[in-house]
Amino acid sequence: MGVIVVTGAGGYLGAHVLAALRKSGHACVGLARRESDGLEVCDLRDAARLAHIMERLQPAGVVHCAWETPRTLSQYGDEAAAERGLSMLENLLAATQAPILHVSSMTVYGSDNASTARREQDAGRPESVYGRAKWAAEQRLAASGRAGFTVRLPGLFGGGRQSGLIWGILRALMRGATPELPPHPLLWAAMDVRDAANALARLCEVPSDAQIPVNIGYEDVYSISRLLALLGELTGHKTACQVSHPDFAFDLTRARALGVAPGEGLRGACLRLLEEAA
């Protein structure tokens, strides 16, 4: 297999995907907006530069991680960021004919029927600007006829990041303090970024003739309420959840068939995080 290009390689997920691919023996080039050791500088909104790089590299595949991922609830409504994300995808489609492994999001499902495991065909009712942009990107890729996969991930944690919901709850419980939780019911799920990156690296080795959506996550029923109970058990500092948060689960039938479903669950990933935080 030839060179695999990873977009957004200077970001959280992209950096881990690049590392996972290289560990698996793949020849890779990482693209990043800003200068960074070992990465090629390319803002995907610069169509001419992107086209020049792709013409030079002639990649065998692209893992498209580049997107402005929200870090706060308010950022899920950022229209400008959504437009920038879609613009980057359009430029990528114009710059190369290589298969694209596109990173999408659980937000394409919305909150309807939150108690049932989401199958790939259940998507299409996103409720946030971010989710609607991710869904629009999926539809654009499907319409292009481009080979590859669209991977729907939950939120990510671990891998050196000392922020986010799980990290905040964990650190508070380890101090015997009351963690700060969302004040309103919130649909939530997460996985260790390293497990997500390893799954994406394995998926790069799976042939595809068209864009195929794939859920990747843990075999868990997720909710913030369940997370609080789990972390309370693991730390020995239990606390009550004052808000009843909805459940969410992925149907991982397709991921298992493709051989890319993670081998552990949220408990194991949280135990790893606990060891790292100690």
Q: Is the dihedral of CA 189, 192, 196, 202 positive or negative?
A: negative
Phi, psi of 83 (to 5 degrees): -65, -40
Question: 147-168: per-residue pLDDT in tens?
Answer: 999 999 999 999 989 999 999 9
Give the integer Cα–Cα distance in Å for 58 and 40.
15
Please name the helix (run of DSSP H) or strand (run of DSSP E) that holds residue 149, with its range, or none: strand 148-153
The angle subtended at Cα 140 by Cα 137 and Cα 146, nearest 5°, is 110
Q: What angle do CA 8, 149, 166 make, to 5 degrees?
A: 55
pLDDT value at position 96? 96
> Rounded to an integer, what distance in angstroms lies between the CA atom of residue 166 and that of residue 188?
11
Q: What is the rounded average pLDDT of the residues 181-202?
A: 94
pTM, two decimals, is 0.94
* CA 109/CA 122 separation, integer angstroms: 7
pLDDT in tens, 212-234: 999 999 999 999 999 999 999 99
How far apart are the C-alpha atoms of 29 and 237, rounded to whole Å?
44
CA distance 263 to 256: 10
In which band, very low, low, confident or very high, does the pLDDT at 113 lie, cut at 50, 70 and 90?
Answer: low
First to last CA, the chain: 41
Q: Quote the percentage of the chain above a pLDDT of 70.
A: 99
Q: At what angle do helices 193-203 and 12-23 cross, to 10 degrees?
A: 50
Report the C-alpha gap between 92 and 62 in whole angstroms.
9
Average pLDDT, the chain: 93
Residue 276 tokens read as 């790292």
Q: Supply the DSSP symbol for 108.
A: G
Which residue(s) pair with 101 in the sheet? 63, 149
Q: Supply the pLDDT for residue 37.
A: 84
Domains of the chain, with CATH numbers? 4-156+191-217+250-263 (3.40.50.720)
State the pairing for strand pair 117-118/40-41: unpaired
Total residue count of the chain as it appears in this document: 278
| CA 237 to mean position of chain CA atoms | 30
Cα 277 from chain centre: 22
HEC string of 76-87?
A: HHCHHHHHHHHH
